[in-house]
Structure 1
Amino acid sequence: MKKFLALLLAAVMLTAVFAGCKPAEKDPGTTDPGTTDPGTTDPGTTDPGTTERKKLTIVNVPKRKGSDWFNRMDYGNQLWAEKTGDDVTQQGPNAMDPVAQVQNLEDCIAAGVDVVTVVPSSPEAVEPVLKKAMEAGIVVLTHEAENQQNCDYDLEAFDNTAYGAHFMDNLVTLAGDSGEYVLMVAQLTHATHRVWSEGAVEQNKAKYPNWKMATPDFLEGPSAEEGQKKFEEALNKYPNITAFIGCDSSNPPSAAAVVESKNLYDKVTVMGTSMPNQSRKYLESGAIKQISFWDPGMAQMAMCAVADIMINGDGVIETGMDLGVEGYNNITVKETDINTVIYGNAWVDCDKDSVGEYNF
């Protein structure tokens, strides 16, 4: 009997030892190690005692490098890198060239980066290479590409149709109840520019019957020089034009240069998307009446925040979330048949009286 009791005691003790070596079961009410609360904790911080946050390699691929718009987006890269220690760079074509942009993305795949954030010059052209990036395990986030299929998320500064409609509302406020206008995009392949323009036309038809688009289609102005040339041609062909709405940040300054050279201040109302520093002198002279914009630097930071949640956090992106970035403090997430879109609330209107509040 004593021998039996001794053996039983030894077996109990051995079981206890092995039980102590068993991994602890995860508490479903706790957060995974390495996650951050985007609304309260700075990106890059971790809870003491948890797994260290992974340092990310993020490459931002814009439509083109060197423009004021994408220089400001690169500023967002710098802010994120300073805040988190992530390796964040911008690489892209020097002109709007879908083929060159595809090659930039191929380079990212070959380098094995963690994240690419892309502003496609042609969403259709980059679909295959974005699919390839996702298959390689790279997080793919797009911007200004609401219908992009091969992406983890597309992030938009706001609802794009509503942004276009507000162009038309503002035009009527600035220029009166009737007239003829032209709409200019950078290129007809730019999906977001078309959505804004179509939103403006829809609002025109629904609410302002005494306004009409002077040209049969949208004008293309991929550069300041080309935009100026196309607007001059339109004025010569359609002399009743009284308003101009530009979608690319270079478009309103291009039209304003024509207004100044031809002294059309009292005839043509110029407005649209642009950057404060790009349009400042024309706002002050009256050649541009109003610009609208969002901060591309903050949009880039918001994409980086989404990537951080996906890789270092719990991966959950949902409506009402605060990404910790101005304009993206109460996001809306929309599932579509082809992708998932994140909407911020980030548009700003600016005129000669408020342009001094901005320095970019």
Structure 2
Amino acid sequence: MHPHSRARRRILPAAAAVCALAVALAGCSGTTKDDAAKDTGTAAAGAKADPGAPMKKGLKLAFLPKQINNPYEKIVDDAGIAAAKEFGAVGKEVGPSDAKASSQVSYINTLIQQRQDAILIAANDPNAVCGPLKQAMRQNIKVVAYDSDTAKDCRQIFINQASSEEIGRTQVQHLAKQLGNKGEIAILSATQNATNQNTWIEFMKDELKKPAYQDMKLVKVAYGDDDDQKSFQETQGLLKAYPNLKGIISPTTVGIAAAARYISGSSYKGKVVLNGLGTPNQMRKYVKDGTVEQFSLWDPKKLGRLGAYAAASLASGRITGAQGETFTAGDLGEYTIGKDGEVILGPPTVFDVKNIDEFDF
């Protein structure tokens, strides 16, 4: 985790111990908040934070997920909408039924016309949504990206579920441990343009360059487009095309569940290791039947809550999105805004047969 972007927070007692993760430091690059402000009239362009400002009542917060029928995104958004109610705001979820790059644009335009106070977006493409989001910010509608970032100058804050580097590297580390650091592996991703997936995959590839993984080879990155049937077929295709494949990493909740479903009913069960990111309720049966030994995720409910509080704090003038500002996210505690407007929820949890029944989401 980058030292600038580590959020100060009170750690809540968890039902299960969160795994200790060793993280290498990485340099960050990209547009600075000051540069972004010149373009869009956002955070640092003369706006001053007033940490003591009261939370405004009746704020309108709109969650715009990658796609409306994605079960993971629904958990995030429902939790954010519930949190909004707690502080007197009104939350809603709108979005497309597919995860194509430009599918979210018309929804952003409608939300601008509706004069929402904040738009929270999990971007399908970092750039396709930029024009309308900048238009929203010019009209004093606050923009918070969550789960999957936009380009940095197209929002005030990005709520990152965990350090991108931590997610990418640990998925390789976990799979390598299961494989004894040997064998051909593949990645089953979501869409080719998904910002979060691509960032994680870059860190996976970088991790694989280390001498410890010289006997492991990444043979293919496949894309299931966060579609259950396509992800199922891509899994089947990978296993047919690469008969020596030993492991698959699927850093998407739709992908890992579809891959587990295929493997569980095939001759590959017990022979091909599947790891990645999933929810306990999706993956429980595959952990218990031995298809999957372990997988990781953060608590998506907490991600939604944190997003709602960040958006309301922006809309109330408590924060502007500048590095170093702090805000309280209800029972989650205090968070600090890091470099490039990034706020990190916390480290992911590893789920396995020993702890999976302690979680229900």
Give TM class, smaller chain: 0.7 to 0.9
Q: Give, in angstroms, the shift of residue 32 of structure 1.
A: 5.7
Determine the structure 2 residue equivalent to 1:211: 216
The DSSP-based 3-state class of the residue aligned with 1:149 is helix
- How far the C-alpha of 1:35 sits from its partner, in A, is 2.0
**Within 5 A, what are the aligned runs for 1:287-298?**
287-298=291-302
Alignment map for 1:244-283 (pairs within 5 Å): 244-283=248-287
CA contact (8 A) 2:66 2:123 kept: yes
Question: Is the counterpart of residue 99 in structure 1 residue 102 in structure 2?
Answer: yes
Q: Tell me if the contact between 1:328 and 1:344 (Cα under 8 Å) persists in the aligned partners.
A: no
Which residue of the partner structure matches residue 90 of structure 1? 93
Judge conservation of contact 1:180–1:213 (CA < 8 Å) in 2. yes
Q: Secondary structure at the match of 1:130?
A: helix
Find the counterpart in structure 1 of residue 198 from structure 2. Answer: 194
**Deviation of the 1:117 alpha carbon:** 0.3
Q: Structure 1 residues 149 and 312, CA, compared in 2 at 3 Å: closer, same or farther?
A: closer
Kindly indicate whether the alpha-carbon contact (under 8 Å) linking 2:172 and 2:204 is maintained by their aligned counterparts in 1. Answer: yes
Match of 1:231 among 215, 228, 235: 235
Tell me the residue number matched to 1:354.
355
Aligned equivalent of 1:305: 309
Distance in 1 (CA, whole Å) between partners of 2:325 and 2:134 is 29
Aligned to 1:72: 75
1:62 matched to 2:65: yes
Separation (CA, whole Å) in 1 of partners of 2:269 and 2:194: 30
| Equivalent-residue separation in structure 2 for 1:137 and 1:156 (angstroms) | 23
**2:247 partner SS:** strand
Larger RCO: Structure 1 or Structure 2 (Cα < 8 Å, ≥ 6 residues apart)?
Answer: 2
Distance 1:286 1:110, change over 3 A: same
Q: Is the 8 A contact 1:182 1:218 kept in 2?
A: yes
Q: Give the 3-state SS of the residue equivalent to 2:328 in structure 1.
A: coil
Structure 2 counterpart of 1:222, from 197, 202, 226 = 226
Q: What TM-score does the superposition give when structure 1 sets the normalisation length?
A: 0.80
Q: Contact (CA 8 Å) 1:298, 1:326: kept in 2 or not?
A: no
User: Residues 150 and 32 from structure 1, CA distance in 2 versus in 1: closer, same or farther, beyond 3 angstroms?
Assistant: closer
Counterparts of 1:346 and 1:324 in 2: how far apart (Å)?
17
Q: 1:86 to 1:332 in 2, by over 3 A?
A: closer
For residue 161 of structure 1, report the CA deviation from its aligned partner: 1.9
Q: Distance in 2 between matches of 1:134 and 1:188?
A: 27
In the TM superposition, what is the alpha-carbon distance from 1:222 to its structure 2 partner?
Answer: 2.3
Q: Distance in 2 between matches of 1:147 and 1:342?
A: 15
CA deviation string 1:296-350 (max 9, x = no partner): 3222221221222223253266548463357774545113xxxx22223141111
Match of 2:53 in 1: 35
Larger Rg, first or second structure (1 or 2): 1
Of the structure 1 ranges 242-251 and 219-228, higher mean CA displacement relative to structure 2 is found in 219-228
Cα shift at 1:66: 2.2
CA contact (8 A) 1:250 1:278 kept: no
- Conservation of the 8 A alpha-carbon contact between 1:64 and 1:93: yes
Task: Tell me how many residue pairs correspond in the alignment.
Answer: 310
Q: Does 1:126 align with 2:129?
A: yes
**AA aligned opposite 1:35:** A
What is the SS of the residue equivalent to 1:99? Answer: coil
Q: Distance in 1 between matches of 2:336 and 2:167?
A: 16
Q: Tell me, in whole angstroms, the C-alpha distance in 2 between the residues paired with 1:268 and 1:327.
A: 38
Kindly report which structure 2 residues correspond to 1:332-347, keeping only aligned pairs within 5 A, or say none: 333-335=338-340, 340-347=341-348
CA distance change for structure 1 residues 324 and 134 in 2, over 3 Å: closer, same or farther?
closer
Gaps (5+ residues) in structure 1?
Answer: 1-30, 37-43, 45-52
In 1, Cα distance between equivalents of 2:52 and 2:326: 19
Given that residues 157 and 327 in structure 1 are in contact (C-alpha distance below 8 angstroms), is that contact kept between their aligned partners in structure 2? no
Q: CA deviation at 1:211?
A: 0.7
CA RMSD of aligned residues (A): 2.2
CA distance in 2, matches of 1:220, 1:147: 23
One-letter identity of the residue aligned with 2:339: K
| Distance (whole Å) between structure 2 residues aligned to residue 327 and residue 208 of structure 1 | 37
Change (3 A) 1:239 1:323: farther
Q: 1:159 to 1:59 in 2, by over 3 A?
A: same
